[in-house]
Chains A and B, each alone.
Chain A
Amino acid sequence: MSATSIGTSEFPKQGQEEVNYLNYDHTLRSWLTTGDHKRIAILYLISTTFIFFLGSLAAGMIRFELTSPAGVVLESETYNKVFSSHGVIMVFFFLVLALPATLGNFLLPLMIGARDLAFPRLNLGSWYLYMVGAALMLSGLIFGGIDTGWTFYTPYSSMYSNTQVSLVIIGIFFSGFSSITTGINFIVTTHKMRAPGMTWFRLPLFVWALYATSVIVILGTPVIAITLLLVVFERLFHLPIFSPELGGDPVLFQHLFWFYSHPAVYIMILPAFGIESELIANFARKRIFGYHFVAFSTIAIAGLGFLVWGHHMFVSSQSMYEGLVFSLISFLVAVPSAIKIFNWTATLYKGNIRLQSPMIYALGFIGLFTVGGLTGLFLGSVGTDVHLTATYFVVAHFHYVMVGGTMMAFLGGLHYWWPKMTGRMFNDGIAKWNAVLVFVGFNLTFFPQFIVGWLGMPRRYHYYYFAPEFQPYNIMSSLGASALALGFLLPAFYLTASLFNGPKAGSNPWGAHGLEWETSSPPPVTNFLETPIVTDEVYDFDPVSEYEQLRAAQDLLDEGGNPGGSY
């Protein structure tokens, strides 16, 4: 099977709709009882997008509050609830799920040439678990909210807080098991469902990333599930596991919490790495530089990620000696991460780079993630961390990784695979400007926070009248947040609009390489009309016919009335 065959024959004639996963049945029932991984991915996309905008709303309130040193509208207690809602929604209900459960769910079987995931009903079940969890969490936020922050540190969460901690934690418990079921599904699928000829080293790097992510999910998530459950037990059934009054140790909670929650950071960023590798390779028209290194660095990050949780606890009365060890291992994580960054930039070198919207997100990712990763080293070394703990420096650091990394990759991946998911091409001109807007808005939001954090502004405060000189930075940050909000809202409009008036995308509108581009867009219900047999290597771009194919792909895009799409 040729990887990049593009021809008009693959386009359906006008008025002659192909039967695909979207249109074989239009009833709501068929969506809610589907076992099709592609439909479940769409269900996840809709629900996580909704959740994301709720979390963004909370972020907007935080940024509005901080425009004035004395605060603007929120009281201390309300502000606590708002930032806790933002954290819980974004971490537990968006970031850890969004990439694997939407793009991963949609693409994993397509990329390895399988008809579906190994356990389709479990996959649907995981979406229902997520919905139940989200409903519980949202009801908790509505009936009183939580003021513990997303970290639920004991004994505040277990003994003192008079908010809906139990309800929200049970929601997180459900959503955790939703990711566990997804993780089990991905692991088994990657092991057992690969098409003939699809060896491990022919797997696209996104699949490697999903596999490593799933391993972290199944090894880490149960630990936080039981830890948070123990907090609920303490609140509801008086089992005094973390109660210092009775000899329990609250620091134990922090150990167990970060045993999961640090690897969870890699759950969020590894799929983004995978998407990044796909985007860089396919828009630089080159095989990724050092494929094996990138693949193994993914596994190395997953493994090392489990050994560094203590760097969240340098000031939590953790042993000084263990702090030093954790600091050292934390630096080690920088090595595989740097391998990835260098390999991506090396891939770009002498690549036939095409600056379409996914690529702009991908390039933005490299810059933002590098800043986020390097500032992580500041926080990973004990000395500077003592100064920077619980300041806006930390906030800026993890937003550079989580938003600058994960969200950029998510948007890039969503744009890249949108034609595959929907069969429609969006307006690439607007999308490119939107990518630039997100990049600029993001930097404007979070770069001032590095400065203001370094100057000592503490996080989780709703005023800073003690230091009015912080105001310009906060104003900048809030302005940037507005731009960022626009940058997140616009895709919702132009991508939705493309469903109605977008030109039909062929099976391979980007001229990309990979099994998912060899089936029609949108794919048929069983993904492939016959089981593909893989004979070529991954990212096997043919440099000779490259230019011809690119012209063909571009002409097709232009015929579709796609403004700004020509180079």
Chain B
Amino acid sequence: MANSPAAASHEHHIVPTSTYFGTLIALIVLMVITVAVAQFQIPDIGPLTGTVLNQLVALIIAGIKAFLVVTIFMGVKWQTPLTKLWAVTGFVWFTLMFIIMGDYLTRKYEPLASWRPNQETALPRTIHGGTPMPMVDPNEANLHPRE
């Protein structure tokens, strides 16, 4: 009954507590940075406006945190290639789902007439800058949803 090399590596790799604790500290520091960055608006850099930059920073930090959790806490770093393959697959396939976005970016988003009008907020309603819809009371609209 020969242990496969994979099994051997499992048995032998006991990660020291300091690594785990260091990771925890890093995660908390990253979280503090996210919160701090969200408190003010980053100035524009070229076409990247502050909102986009803020969101990018927040998501990049979240990505780094996720990477730390997956590699160290979940131990993927010390796993066999097969486990690594399956650990990566889900995240890769998740990004594939964003192809759907292609539809929405090439299609005019057409709101129903029963939506509340845009004039109320005096701010752009959609990223596509749709035309304001006329004021219609949803209760008078030709819709009878299930109670």
Contacts and interface: CB of A to CB of B under 8 A. Distances in A.
A161 B144 CA distance: 11
Interface residues of A, number: 30
B100 A259 contact: yes
B112 A245 contact: yes
Contacts of B112: 244-245
Interface stretch (A314-322, A458-466, A511-519): A314-322
Contacts of A325: 102
A223 B97 contact: yes
Given A160-B145, A244-B112, A317-B110, A306 B96 contact: yes
B138 interface: yes
B40 interface: no
B107 interface: yes
Given A191-B82, A317-B107, A322 B143 contact: no
B13 interface: no
A219 B107 contact: no
A159 interface: yes
B127 interface: no
A2 interface: no
A345 interface: no
A307 interface: yes
Contacts of B93: 219, 306
A255 B103 contact: yes
Contact of B143 (A245, A255, A259): A245
Contacts of B107: 317-319, 322
Identify which of A161, A245, A317 gathers the most chain B CB atoms within 10 Å of its CB: A245
Interface in B37-70: none
A320 B108 CA distance: 11
Contact of B99 (A223, A244, A307): A307
B103 A318 contact: yes
Among all A-B residue pairs, the 4 with the closest Cβ atoms: A319-B107, A319-B106, A159-B145, A255-B100
Interface of A: 155, 159-162, 187, 191, 219, 223, 235, 243-245, 247, 249, 251-252, 255-256, 259, 306-307, 310, 317-322, 325
Given A235-B146, A252-B100, A322-B106, 17 more contacts: A159-B146, A161-B146, A244-B112, A245-B114, A247-B115, A251-B103, A255-B103, A306-B96, A310-B103, A317-B107, A318-B103, A318-B107, A320-B106, A321-B106, A322-B103, A322-B107, A325-B102
